[in-house]
Every structure is written in C-alpha cells, then in structure tokens.
Structure 1
Amino acid sequence: MFEDSFQRIQNRLYELTDEPVENLHFVILSDTIGKGLEEQIEQFKSEHSDLKVMFIDTLQMIRESNDNGYGSDYKELSVLKSLADKLEIAIIVVHHTRKCKDSDPFNMISGSTGLSGCVDGSMVLIETKRGSRNAKLYCVGRDIENAEINLQFDSDLKKWVVTDEPTAPKSKANIFLAALYVYIKKKIDFSGTASELIEKLKSVSDETFYPNRVTRDLVRNGYTLRKYGIDFEYKRTRNCRLIILHYDRERDSSDSKNTSEVTVNRLTLKV
C-alpha cells in the first residue's frame, strides 16, 4: 500500500471490520526491484512462514526504471515472478490502465505487452460507467480459462461482489467434479498426487480421467469447489506435486448435501 499512509489504511480497514485478523500486515515503504525489494520480501517470508499472498499497490512505486519498453517491463516483472515461484507464494501487483478505451481490455494495461506476457495471469477491472459502481472483471491466464465476471460495489460491505454465476464447466469437467464430490464427501480428506486421486475416484466412477487435466480442472472450478464445501490446495515438493482436499459439510450449499445421489449432465453417482 505504497500510496497510502498508515492512518488512511487504518481508517479504511475499520470501515471493513473492527476486528482485523492478526496475520494481515501492511507496509508503506520499500526498496525497488533490483535495489533491495527482493531481499525485503525474502526476509519477511522468513519471519512469517505462513505467508501465502502478497499485494503490491502499485507497480510504479517499486520500479527502478522509468523505461516502459517491452524489455524493461518483462525484466522487472520476471524478477517478481521468479521470487514468487522460489518462495511458493502469490504476488499480486496492482497496476493502472490507460484512460483510452479499447475493444480488448488487456490492451488498456499501461505499459508494454511485456507486463502481461511475463505474469501467470492478468485481471482488468473496468467500470461500466464512471461512478456507477457496476463493473466487469476480465480474467486471463496460463492456468485458467478466460472469464468475464460482472461485479457490483457494495457500499455497506465496502467490497465488490459477484452479480452473476460463472459459466458452468463443460460436461467432462462436470463429471470429474461430480466424482470428486462423491469421493471426498465420504472420505473428508485427501492428500496425494493427481494419479493417486484418479485411482481413488475409480471407486465411485467408471469414467476415465487423466492426471494432466486434474489440477487444471480443480483450479478452473474453484467457485464450484467452494460451493460444495471443498477446500483445494496445491503444493510442490521435491519429489512430487501434492493435491490436498478437505470437505466441510457445514459449508456445502449444494442441493446434494442431504441426498444419496449426485446428478450432473445426466450422469448419476451414488453417494
């Protein structure tokens, strides 16, 4: 939050809640990329081992160079991407858009295409009309499907809320999610590789699933997983890539919560 003072941050935080969580930290000053920022982030990670996500607001405040050429943009963002991969955290960088409109929202990102070309994903929030509090969030990334999500700013909650449901997954993904739901509802927890998860799903479905699609389908269907009370975590270890799942019945808002069958795209699975 390099554009705000602690007082402004505190005032805005109290608009959201009068009981801030203890694992939320703010910094209003930092070094720049290549001039100490990476070391500061690594030091913070060493002091807070549970760090999962870091927000930088805004990109311009941590840039060392004023050059907005492709090479400079790509080089600076690649430093942050490499650091995020190394520390196994997500780094979300807030950046401005150009004032001029474009049919492609991602062309409105200020700077060169080196910015969007380097990062794993980009999200552009465009208000339908200035001051309307209605907007559309455009999402694109290497590991997610392109998405357009309608949002509305809730003045009471002080946050953007989704006003439409994401497009339903394709039938094959639905079948996978149905089988996963049936399995995890019985077992509650799972920790293992994609291949091991597929072996477990054979107990509830005769459908053939493929390891290289499992993680992708889990990531793409995060909304649906949460709706069905399923938490998903992905970890990389030295030996393998672990998928960690947990089912919480109290958060399951699906119609199948208290039934013995799940039907998805004409496929019926016994619970």
Structure 2
Amino acid sequence: MPTENLYFSVMYESIGNGLEEQIESFKIEHCDLKIVFIDTLQMVRSDTDSSYGSDYKELSMLKALADKLEIAIIVVHHTRKCKDTDPFNMISGSTGISGCVDGSLVLIENKRGSRIAKLFCVGRDIENAEINLQFDSDLKKWVVTDEPTAPKSKDNIFLAALYVYLQSQIDFVGTASELVTALKTVSDERFYPNRVTRDFVQNGYTLRKYGINFQYKRTRNGRLIILHYDRERDSSDSKNTN
C-alpha cells in the first residue's frame, strides 16, 4: 500500500565522500527515521577494490553511522553464481562484509524462476535460522510458508513475566541487567541479561501481538532497552485476565 513515510533518493554520493552526511541531513529533517535501504552496495562504493580491508572499512563506516543515528541500515548486495554448502560464502566480495555487519540474510531460490526460496539468517543478536519462502504474485512480496513454531518453554516464561510486569508498569527504560532485576518482582524464575536481547529479537511478532513495543538506544554507558505496553494494541486473549 502507498505510504507517505517512504522516500526514494536517486541522487547520492559514495561512502566516505558525502553519503553519510546526506543520511545525517535526512535524519535531521525526519527525526522519526528508523531504517535506510541501500540498493545496491556497489552503487555507493567509493573503492572498486573488493579486498578484505576495503570491504571492512566501508561497511564499518555505515555501521558506525547506524549506531550514531540509532537507525538500521539495510544494504542489498549480490551473491556469487557459484554454489556453496555455506550460503554465506556465496556473498560477493571478501569475508570483510559479513564480518563487519550485525547480521546477514541470504535469499536462495530453489530453482531460478520457481518463486520458492529459503532465507538464511545469521547475526550477533539472533540465532541462525532458515526460513522457507514463496513469492506471492498478487501481493508482490515473499511470504513465509513455514508453520509457526511455539517459542521454547524458557522463552514463554520470560515473555509471560515481561507481560505481567508491563501490564502494571506500562513502561520500562533501563539495561538488560536492570530489566532482569525488575522481573524478579513478578517471577521467581531466573533470567539472564545476556539472553534478553536474543529473546526480544526471536519473539518480536509475539511481543507486538501482546501490545509490547521495544527498541534499543545506545549510550556511552551501554545499550538501553525501552519498552512500552499499549493495551489498545494488545490482541492476545490475556489482556482481560488481569
């Protein structure tokens, strides 16, 4: 569907030669900016060399910019034509690309033109995943064909505790350690700060269903977790049980 919040730019500079300033200027004009797509990486590269050092340097500049502006930058890139048992070895260029970014997604079609594919996912804050997809010609997008799987029981306990806590508190702003401490007021279960981020990423759909919005904010003292419970957006069967 058309949206007023989607902008296209066909005039751009290269990495290290003005692109970062362009994105920063746009962020100033649109303070609600959340995500930037670059299609494709090669279009904004300032160095045609694909060595490890060059790949890592340019992607590091984009990552630093994303961290600074607290946005996500998605870079579309090509894969090699040769097949590999490890899908991530098919990413064109050196390992400097996948080694620098927070996460990589590789889409491989079962057979050219079949419109059936698998999305391979790996990242610092997520567990490895393989998601089966099929292209919907009517919707003009890839849709997930996997049957949804229930979260692990441990995740269920964490989400249940979080849900109960936010129903009464509505908002939370703090570190992962502070969140774990806060959840002790509603659960005797032991949670671990180093798992909190992964639990959020893995259960994003469930959190939205329960009316929970979450985001991260990087500060000099670390990463803050920002949570808000919106009862009007809570589509679960549990909102009327408290």
- Which of the residues 122, 126, 144 maps onto 1:144? 126
Corresponding residue for residue 37 of structure 1: 19
Larger Rg: 1
- Which of the residues 59, 65, 75 maps onto 1:93? 75
Which digits, 9 at most, give the CA deviation of each residue in 1:33-84, with x for residues without a partner?
Answer: 1222122222222222221110000000011222111111111111111111
Q: Distance in 1 between matches of 2:103 and 2:150?
A: 21
Q: Distance in 1 between matches of 2:144 and 2:176?
A: 31
1:208 aligns with 2:190: yes
Which digits, 9 at most, give the CA deviation of each residue in 1:139-181, with x for residues without a partner?
Answer: 1011111111111222222211222245544433332112112
- Which of the residues 57, 61, 75 maps onto 1:79? 61
Using structure 2 for the length normalisation, give the TM-score: 0.89
SS of 1:124's equivalent in the other structure is strand
Q: Distance in 1 between matches of 2:20 and 2:39?
A: 16
- Which of the residues 16, 20, 29 maps onto 2:3? 20
Q: Distance in 2 between matches of 1:136 and 1:150?
A: 5
Q: Tell whether the 8 Å contact from 1:149 to 1:166 is kept in structure 2 after alignment.
A: no
Q: Distance in 1 between matches of 2:119 and 2:232?
A: 29
Corresponding residue for residue 155 of structure 2: 173
Q: Which amino acid aligns with 1:36?
A: G
1:133 aligns with 2:125: no
1:246 Cα deviation from its structure 2 partner:
2.3
Percent identity (aligned):
80
Compare 144-153 and 43-52 and name the one that shifted more. 43-52
1:231 Cα deviation from its structure 2 partner:
1.4
Using structure 1 for the length normalisation, give the TM-score: 0.81
1:240 Cα deviation from its structure 2 partner:
5.4
User: Gaps spanning 5+ residues in structure 1: where?
Assistant: 1-16, 261-270
Q: Distance in 1 between matches of 2:185 and 2:60?
A: 43
Corresponding residue for residue 137 of structure 2: 155
Q: Tell whether the 8 Å contact from 1:126 to 1:135 is kept in structure 2 after alignment.
A: yes
Q: Distance in 2 between matches of 1:190 and 1:55?
A: 30
User: Gaps spanning 5+ residues in structure 2: where?
Assistant: none
Alignment root-mean-square deviation, CA:
2.1
**How many residue pairs align between the two structures?**
242
Q: Distance in 1 between matches of 2:151 and 2:81?
A: 34
1:145–1:80: structure 2 CA closer, same or farther, 3 Å change rule? Answer: same
Which digits, 9 at most, give the CA deviation of each residue in 1:216-239, with x for residues without a partner?
Answer: 322232233223332111112345
1:106 Cα deviation from its structure 2 partner:
0.6
